[in-house]
Amino acid sequence: MLGRKELALQWQDNDRGFMADATLSPLPAGPARSMIRPALREAVKRREFFYEYQPIVTVADSRITGYEALARWRHAGGIVPPSDFIWIAEQSGAMADIQSSALIWLADAVAATSESITFAVNWSPLQLARSAEIAGFINLTARLGVPATRIVIEITEESLLQPSAATLANVGHLKDAGFAIALDDFGTGCCNLAYLKDLPVDRLKIDRSFVRDLPYSAKSRAIVEAVIELAHRLHIEVVAEGVENEQQLTQLAAMHCDYVQGYLLGRPSHHAQISAQCAAALLPAAELLQ
């Protein structure tokens, strides 16, 4: 097995090109966006991409069970927001390169934490449709010494709106390789519920828009409670995203939600251990923002 240093140097020398312009959709508007795509390739070579970690905590006993790994770009001018580069990276075919580069740092976080801690990484619909990227991810995690059981693959409902045969097969390949599968932003798309029966989904992540409205929306409470009950009947765990206050947490506990994630438990941090300390204490959001 290659060491992480050797893999980083090998990755830096990688000279694979991005997809041809003819395959791209029109870029979003914005004066700075036209400058981002040409910079992505060099940014990968300079290893400017990394992850920040937001804790995922059990509702029952406030234990850290994992983190969501959120991609960040440390550019010369500062941190580039994901909203400014993720879409372009996906459309240009660069997302796999960025993810592989950041995985080198994720391997350090995995090695520094308990074997029971998992790390969730996000996959785009375009990535899921590319079998070569699935194989590359499986091979790289093995070479980095990252057990598949420590990684949760987060896919969005958008990935399943009109899934190709390749996408469905690739989700199966990831599951067969030992990775857990989470369905992210649940409730915001038009996903056919049959996929919960047919796909090897281990977790549902309830979108923050429903969690935000819990204290004052009976409809949101009914939806969240129904999703949790349905998931549990299918032996699927549930994570509620965007938990920012004690009232939301109390209501989710009454609904027997399994896990929570949000600023109440901890903001994304470069160091997983720091986030763990915040989440274990369940500090109010105002204190976390200091």
Tokens matching residue 95: 């997302």
pLDDT tens readout for residues 120-149 = 999 888 888 889 989 999 999 999 999 999
For the chain, the domains span 4-24+44-288
Query: What b-and-e string marks burial along 61-79, b requiring 16 or more CB atoms within 10 Å of the CB?
Result: eeebbbbbbbbbbebeeee
With 70 as the cut, is the pLDDT of residue 21 above it?
no
CATH fold of the domain at 4-24+44-288: TIM Barrel (3.20.20)
Q: What is the pTM of this model?
A: 0.81
Residue 166: pLDDT band with limits 50, 70, 90 = confident
* pLDDT for the residue numbered 96: 81
Taking 50 as the threshold, does the pLDDT of residue 11 lie above it?
A: no
Is the CB of residue 80 less than 8 Å from the CB of residue 66?
A: no
